Amino acid sequence: MKVYTESFELVIPISYESTEVIETGKWGFQKPETAFMTAPCEEACPAGNPIATFIYLIGEGKFGKALEAVLKENPFPGVCGRVCFHPCESGCNRNQYDETVSINVLERYVFDATVDQSPKLHPALNSDPKRIAVVGAGPAGLSCAYFLALLGHKVTVFEARQEPGGVLRWGIPEYRLPKSVLKKEIGRILGLGIEMKTGVVVGKQFPIESLNQFDAVFLSPGAGVSLPLGVGGEGLTRVWRGTDFLNRINLGEKIRAGGKIIVIGGGNTAMDVARSARRLGSAVTIAYRRTKKEMPAVTDEVEEAEQEGVRFEVLVQPVEIRLLKNRKIRIKFQRMKLRKTSREERARPIPIKGSFVILEADRLITAVGEGVDLSWIPQDLREKGFIKSVHSLETKGRRIYAGGDAIDQQRSVVTAICSGKRAAISIDLSFRGQDPEEVFTKIRAGSKEGLSMEAYLKGRERGIWEEPKGVVVYDQLNTLFFKPSERVRTGRIDAGKTLKGFSEVHTGLSSEGARLSALRCFSCGTCNYCYNCYFFCPEGIVSFDPVDQTRKVDLDHCKGCGTCSRACPRHVIEMRLIS
């Protein structure tokens, strides 16, 4: 370094040389490390959605890239963005600051904003592709097929109905999930070269033994059989089963449901039945044996049913159904009360002796749960009304796996996707002779159920899986850089039009709403190029390229002060001691 000391220039102590030759980085005892972490929303998502990443991309207006990011982990952003019970939002760190980020409707926006696009999906190279049969084209089966295809395998899907989709197609009504959305997403999945055999009932047209010709089988027949009430009069023609009712609506049948309908049940099917019946012009009452608080249905669904004029009769259980002379039916309900025991999670309804309620209606629709048709399933694969599988989703059958609503697990679309993904990875690992449980511990998004396909693929390529990333907790964020803002909510069609037909009730986000909503995301553990480390670095040695999404630190000149780590609002940078 040269300091000028002669002539005019000597007066002011100035240097025109660079100090770069001085390796100040050697002074430090710690270095910043970009520690991309898992956000709590990502941990909470059973599908392992890369939420922070896709929300960042929405905020940047890169919707195509956002879609690509989601599709790495979840083949159904359009479906999940509409019908998911969004456990991610309960996990959101922003809950502890003001209100959760609208993750669910942002996922929907990824689909809505790219509805005209068809991103190219890139299956991994696989030198030894296997043939796998998937039985049942619901969310679990289609997800399993999708991920197996992404892993380079050849998949054949057997579907008993004339169209794929399962509960998404035949259960969920159009006003919650338009058929066009489902069609688009299934089309994208099948575009991977998956063979789809519809109208083929395994166990009838296709003997179950014939599945032996495949290297592995995934059973995902779903739970489509309405459970009986177990009450006298259930067989009357005035009594319908909820799944049949929804199925007929989804087939496009014109149904005369009746002027006054009673729906029995408190789950999502009951809500779907009740709200569909409202759209057919009926007055609807839901009868449930516990209170609204204990209903297994998603809270939003219960609230919306109520907003649409569905009445609730709670703490009642049917004991008898009779047909009256005027062709109406009379239902006798036992009044119930709740007893909470410390061991049980949910309060138990018990009858109040001698207390009854009588209700009259034109029709009764039951929605007290759905069972699995196990008639074609070998005896040794069954247990307590389900197909029995262990955590890795293997059954007792050789290379036979099972998932979705047919196994004993939480019933939701996202859980089904989760099991489809897990089974795909299990099956792939079985061909490689590796223990799935061991690999799962490395590729989990956090400590819950969701697995990261991206992490799996990365390790699969290298032959070894790295330790999983930690989950960012609220206290690790630097909230000084955030300011309170209101949660952005989905739009809705006019209240007056809600019951006029089966048009989708929620209209999603406007582009501005999506942008504002995306910018509310703390992006926990994921760099969103906020430039804080760049601005706060006293050495000026952080460089950025948001276009290429690279962030570099000149470690030769990093003194390890840790300012960047403290200034990072989202806990992306961790200081590590130099050994």
Contact residues toward other proteins (CB under 8 A) are: 1, 3, 5, 8-16, 19
Nearest to 142 by CA among 180, 181, 194, 177: 194
User: Nearer Cβ to other proteins, position 10 or 578?
Assistant: 10
CB 323 within 8 A of CB 291: no
Least Å from the CB of residue 478 to other proteins: 22
User: Nearer Cβ to other proteins, position 24 or 247?
Assistant: 24
- Hey, which residues does 491 pair with through a beta bridge? 508
The helix (run of H) or strand (run of E) holding residue 351 is strand 348-361
User: Nearer Cβ to other proteins, position 14 or 547?
Assistant: 14
Residues in the chain: 579
Tokens of residue 132, six digits: 């796998």
User: Nearer Cβ to other proteins, position 22 or 324?
Assistant: 22
Least Å from the CB of residue 9 to other proteins: 5
User: Nearer Cβ to other proteins, position 15 or 550?
Assistant: 15
Residue 572 burial class via C-beta count within 10 angstroms: exposed 0-12, middle 13-18, buried 19 and up: buried
Cβ of 126: how many Cβ atoms within 10 Å?
16
User: Nearer Cβ to other proteins, position 20 or 486?
Assistant: 20
User: Nearer Cβ to other proteins, position 6 or 209?
Assistant: 6
List, in sequence order, the alpha helices (H) in 209-311: 242-251, 268-279, 299-307
In one letter, which amino acid is 382?
A: R
Q: Residue 9: CB partners within 8 Å, gap ≥ 6? A: none
User: Nearer Cβ to other proteins, position 11 or 547?
Assistant: 11
Return the C-alpha torsion angle 412, 417, 419, 425, nearest 10. -170
- Hey, which residues does 348 pair with through a beta bridge? 339
Least Å from the CB of residue 2 to other proteins: 9
DSSP secondary structure string for all residues of 420-434: HHHHHHHHHHHHHT-
Least Å from the CB of residue 27 to other proteins: 14
Count Cα atoms within 13 angstroms, Cβ side, for 52: 27
Q: Residue 487: CB partners within 8 Å, gap ≥ 6? A: 98, 99, 100, 101, 102, 517, 520
User: Nearer Cβ to other proteins, position 8 or 29?
Assistant: 8
Least Å from the CB of residue 562 to other proteins: 24
CB 356 within 8 A of CB 363: no
Least Å from the CB of residue 8 to other proteins: 5
Strand 363-366 with 260-264, pairing: parallel
Residue 438 burial class via C-beta count within 10 angstroms: exposed 0-12, middle 13-18, buried 19 and up: exposed
Euclidean distance between CA atoms 189 and 194, whole angstroms = 8
CB 202 within 8 A of CB 211: yes
Cβ of 411: how many Cβ atoms within 10 Å?
18
Tokens of residue 273, six digits: 């039945």
User: Nearer Cβ to other proteins, position 232 or 540?
Assistant: 540
Nearest to 55 by CA among 43, 44, 41: 41
Tokens of residue 521, six digits: 């995301």
User: Nearer Cβ to other proteins, position 15 or 198?
Assistant: 15
Least Å from the CB of residue 6 to other proteins: 11
Q: Residue 550: CB partners within 8 Å, gap ≥ 6? A: 544
User: Nearer Cβ to other proteins, position 11 or 464?
Assistant: 11
Least Å from the CB of residue 18 to other proteins: 9
Strand 550-553 with 542-545, pairing: antiparallel
Least Å from the CB of residue 65 to other proteins: 37
Q: Residue 540: CB partners within 8 Å, gap ≥ 6? A: none
Give Cα 135 distance to the centre of its chain.
21
User: Nearer Cβ to other proteins, position 10 or 324?
Assistant: 10
User: Nearer Cβ to other proteins, position 3 or 352?
Assistant: 3
Euclidean distance between CA atoms 173 and 498, whole angstroms = 13
For tokens 């003001």, the residue is 98
Q: How far is CA 110 from CA 62, 549, 551, in A?
A: 9, 20, 26
Least Å from the CB of residue 115 to other proteins: 50
User: Nearer Cβ to other proteins, position 17 or 300?
Assistant: 17
Euclidean distance between CA atoms 328 and 323, whole angstroms = 6
Euclidean distance between CA atoms 49 and 33, whole angstroms = 24
Least Å from the CB of residue 3 to other proteins: 5
